[in-house]
Amino acid sequence: MKKEIEAKKVGRLFAAMLRIRRVEEEIIRVYSSDKVKSPVHLSIGQESIAVGVCDNLRPTDILYATYRGHAAYLAKGGNINRMMAELWGKSDGLASGKAGSMHLGDRAAGMIGTSAIVATGIPLAVGNALAMKMQQKDVVTTVFFGEGATDEGVFHESMNFAALKKLPILFVCENNQYAIYSHVRDRMRNENLCERASAYGMPAVRIENGDVFEVNERAQISVQAIREGNGPQFLECMTYRWRDHVGPGEDRHIEYRPDEELDRWIADDQIARLREMLAPSDRHSIEAEVEAEISEAVAFAEASSFPDTDVMYDNVVQ
Amino acid sequence: MSSSNPRSINYAEALYEALYQEMDRDPSVFVYGQGVDDAKGMYGTTLDIHKEFGPDRCFDTPLSEDAMTGVGIGAAIAGMRPVHVHQRMDFLLLCMNQLVNMAAKMSYMTEGAVSVPFVVRGIIGRSWGQGAQHSQALHSYFMHIPGLKVFAPTTPYDAKGCMISAIRDNNPVIFMEHRMLYGNSGIVPETSYEVPFGKARLLSEGTDITIVGISHMMVEVLRAKQLLSQKGISADIIDPVSLSPLDIDTIATSVSKTGSLMVVDTSWLSCGAGSEIVAQVVERLQGAREIRVKRLGYQPTPCPTTRPLEELFYPSAQMIATEAYGLLGKPGLWVPEAVEASEIAEFRGPF
């Protein structure tokens, strides 16, 4: 029985990670056509964090994420069709094309929004957690941010307040070690980010290797602790971005990071790992399903019209 | 109290009453900020609210303006109606990223799926040596940004009605208060009422000039009106009340009658509210009407502390009258006797 559940979980996590990977590969494929007239920050290589964490969240739980947000949005149960239409700038997009890749938000999926100003979404997530506590709602708020965000003052202010008020929030630091091309060691003396969380009085755990099962299990413990009223929890998830900071390309030619470092993380690819764990028939059906979803999403985005110019002034204020 | 004997309270009391009534009416309203629950209660405007409604709905915060602004935005998105109070408006500079990049844009970036019913109160601390960092009025910064609304009421009636409107509004509202208005008394209904956004108030009617006064400068404008009457000059006096959205119709209609516009701002001139009002009126009336315009405001310096320089820094009723006289092309330089600004002369610290 346990084995069967395990196989289901492998399939579920594999499908979720593969969906993100394949969506972004599709974005890369079409990018040169200039159909996506907007910057994209790809999550390829980092899928295991969003998927491992969000697997523990309910549809009613709330997520805030960053401009590198495709993985978070899809992992939280986002709508691929509307996301692709948003990237294409079409009227069926999540925000009629007004937001784009950097500002994915969808209340139906419980993802409020993403910010392109590093760390800026963190206090909003804390505010959401405060509201949930005031309204006595059984909702866990999760916020994703990169290690670069921990350089920002607002991260520290937010952590302090969340701990002070014992708010039901999970802080997830996706530590890919680079802020654009600047390595974490060039930005801080003490690279142990968990110590920052501990300093504010909240439990903190680092997951070293991007292992999707480990992320998933640690997040489960944290989410459970939050649901039981134990206040904020912090996860530092080591991970690695395979592509350039922005855009569809690879970035080995820039030579800001060692090829071997990137190669090591690629060799440790969680999607390839889980693919091997699955029975071929399960694998094939998941892959076929994901491919069908992506074809449909691209067709949906293509078929959608551009918004009428008269929506320009809608929703500046309400 | 009978209707034949309407009740008079001051500006600070009007703000307290608005907050109290809204918190009583709507459990999603809460107020927070450094010092809101202390013994002074933000000049009385939040005094003992924490005792009335509990510490969850009126709480002090860490000295973290940036994050605390974001917390308000996030709570607003989640269905609350937070009121964030800053004892000096200068501290809003620490909140700018959250207000401009997040609060103002969430509705647009989500095509209306998210709303941010969030009130940010900024109190201007003029007089008694507040100096360079405790005296600034930053309304023009926020008027520049689509997605933010800006209120700057001058009367107790408007203080209460604007606060109620701001709390009920589904958008982020910057609520600018001036400490030197807090003692002003006026008729304020005990019942709850809203003062609308985007509607200016014609406080006094005249024929020769239109004078717009913003925030505390309205007090000096009304004093200047008395001086101008010595020369037989009468003015339309307009309080914008709502700076964003701005009711340019009321101002332009007046200027099309008088032909002269003076805007007296509680801030600097460069890229200021006065510049905006003058530009919009000129755009509207040029070609149709010959118009004269003049802006008055702070001297182009940081605010000095010492009294002789501080007095020079702000426009006075005397200066407003002299400049209005000059704007109308009257002969010679006319300098009426100075009028004491009692709220400033009588103010004592300690802060």
Note the pLDDT tens digit of each residue in B32-46. Answer: 999 999 999 999 999
Three-state SS for A38?
A: coil
User: Which pLDDT score is estimated for A6?
Assistant: 85
Which one from B134, B139, B178, B216 is the annotated catalytic residue?
Answer: B134
Residues B172-197, mean pLDDT to the nearest whole number: 97
Mean of the per-residue pLDDT values of chain A: 96
Sequence-separated (6 or more) residues with CB below 8 Å from residue B343: B127, B180, B181, B183, B184, B219
Could A318 and B97 be called an inter-chain contact, meaning their C-beta atoms sit closer than 8 Å? no
What mean pLDDT do residues A232-254 have?
96
Q: How far apart are the first and last CA of chain A?
A: 53
> Given this model, what pLDDT does residue B348 score?
82
Instruction: Look at residues B148, B103, B146, B120 and name the one whose alpha carbon lies nearest to residue A117.
Output: B103
- At A294, give phi and psi (nearest 5°): -70, -40
Q: Which two tokens stand for residue B128?
A: 């008694």
Confidence of residue B4 (pLDDT cuts 50, 70, 90): low
How would you classify the pairing of strands B29-32 and B58-59?
parallel
Tens digit of pLDDT for each residue in B288-337? 999 999 999 999 999 999 999 999 999 999 999 999 999 999 999 999 99
Between CA B82 and CA B58 the distance in angstroms is: 10
DSSP state of A68: S
- A153-195: per-residue pLDDT in tens? 999 999 999 999 999 999 999 999 999 999 999 999 999 999 9
Instruction: Summarize pLDDT for B230-261 with one digit per residue, the tens.
Output: 999 999 999 999 999 999 999 999 999 999 99
State the smallest CA–CA distance between residue B321 and chain A in angstroms.
39
Query: B66, B71, B170: best mutation site toward chain A, by most A Cβ within 10 Å?
Result: B71
The partner residue sitting opposite A131, judged by closest CB among B79, B106, B111, is B79
pLDDT of A3 reads: 59
| Annotation says B50 is catalytic | no
Instruction: Determine the 3-state secondary structure of B25 from DSSP.
Output: helix
Per-residue pLDDT for B349 more than 90?
Answer: no
Which among B149, B334, B83, B131 has a CA at the least distance from the CA of B232? B334
- Nearest-neighbour CA in chain B from A240: distance (Å): 28
Report all structural domains of chain B as residue ranges with CATH numbers, in order of start: 9-187 (3.40.50.970), 201-345 (3.40.50.920)
Residue B85: predicted pLDDT? 98
| Per-residue exposure over B152-163, b if at least 16 CB sit within 10 Å of its own CB, e if not | bbbbbbbbbbbb
Question: A112 CB near a chain B CB, below 8 Å?
Answer: yes
Q: CB of A122 within 8 Å of any CB in chain B?
A: yes
pLDDT at B1 exceeding the cut of 50: no
CB B147 within 8 A of CB B171: yes
Residue B350, pLDDT score: 78
Nearest CA among B242, B238, B262, B264 for reference residue B143: B242
Q: Write the pLDDT tens digit of every residue in B123-148.
A: 998 878 889 999 999 999 999 999 99
Identify which of B75, B109, B146 has the shortest CB distance to residue A103. B109
Candidates A98, A132, A164; nearest CB to B108: A98
Instruction: From chain B, pick out residues whose CB is under 8 angstroms from the CB of A126.
Output: 67, 70-71, 74
Mean pLDDT computed over B11-19: 98
* B contacts of A98 (beta carbons < 8 Å): 108-109, 111
Q: Of the candidates B66, B138, B116, which has an alpha carbon nearest to the alpha carbon of residue B95? A: B66
Q: Answer whether residue B3 shows pLDDT above 70.
A: no
* Separation CA B115–CA B95 (nearest Å): 19
Residues of A in contact with B171 (CB under 8 A): 317-318
**Is the sign of the CA dihedral A4, A5, A10, A12 positive or negative?**
positive
Cis status of the peptide bond prior to B350, with omega within 30 of 0: yes
In the block, which residue shows the tokens 């993100």?
A20
Pairwise CB contact (< 8 Å): B67 & A161: yes
Two tokens, residue B244: 């964003």
**Across residues B147-156, what is the average pLDDT?**
98
B82 vs A contacts (CB less than 8 Å): 127
B78 pLDDT more than 90: yes
B112 Cα to chain A: minimum distance (Å):
5
CA angle B346, B350, B351 (to 5 degrees): 95
Q: Which of A42, A45, A97, A29 is nearest to A73 (CA)?
A: A42
List all residues 6 or more positions away from A280 whose beta carbon is below 8 Å from its beta carbon: none
> Would residue B22 show up in a list of annotated catalytic residues for this protein?
no
Distance from CA of B46 to the nearest CA of A (A): 20
